[in-house]
Amino acid sequence: MPLFKFDPNQRDHLLIYQKILTQLKHNTNMEMMMESPSLQIDFQLLGTTISPKEISKILEIIPDIALLQGERSPTLGLPKSNIWSIRSKSPSDEVLEHWRSLEPALVKAKDRIREIAKTGRAKITIIIEGKQRTPSLTIPPEMSEFAGFVRSEIDIDHLQC
């Protein structure tokens, strides 16, 4: 037997139902915010003379973002230079776990990445989002080694949401 019998024809029942739904939605959003990744790593090749589509072919990696200079994007606007980017998708809040999700593809293509980066620049961005605790920012030696080899800068962005 249900704890509450909902009758949509009763105005009071409808108001209670709406309040329950609102609270459930709020709780679900709070849980999602608490569980959502608070950290990501974004590897980018920026301002290269090689087009993002050609980079994808050369590296044999499907990017998350591939935009030509001036190509309109709903989230990025008009980029001032070519952008080719892949982003980690680990649910962890540890840099090492995110790096491990990108490392196989990037290391496999590191010689080609290095050559492409010479025509622009390479950048690794550690993105921290939200008001949760700031996660550990220990940069793994493998990530440092890769960054040095391809001559990539390492950037840390803390986005307050």
Q: What is the pLDDT of residue 81?
A: 84
**Number of Cα atoms under 13 Å in the Cβ half of residue 117:** 23
- pLDDT tens for 54-102 read 999 999 999 999 988 877 776 767 677 899 999 999 888 889 999 999 9
Q: Choose the most confident range, by mean pLDDT, from 2-6, 10-14, 48-52.
A: 48-52
Residue 126 has pLDDT above 70, yes or no: yes
pTM: 0.73
Q: What is the pLDDT of residue 93?
A: 82
Query: What residues does each domain of the chain span?
Result: 37-159
- pLDDT tens for 5-47 read 555 555 555 556 566 666 666 555 444 444 444 889 999 999 9
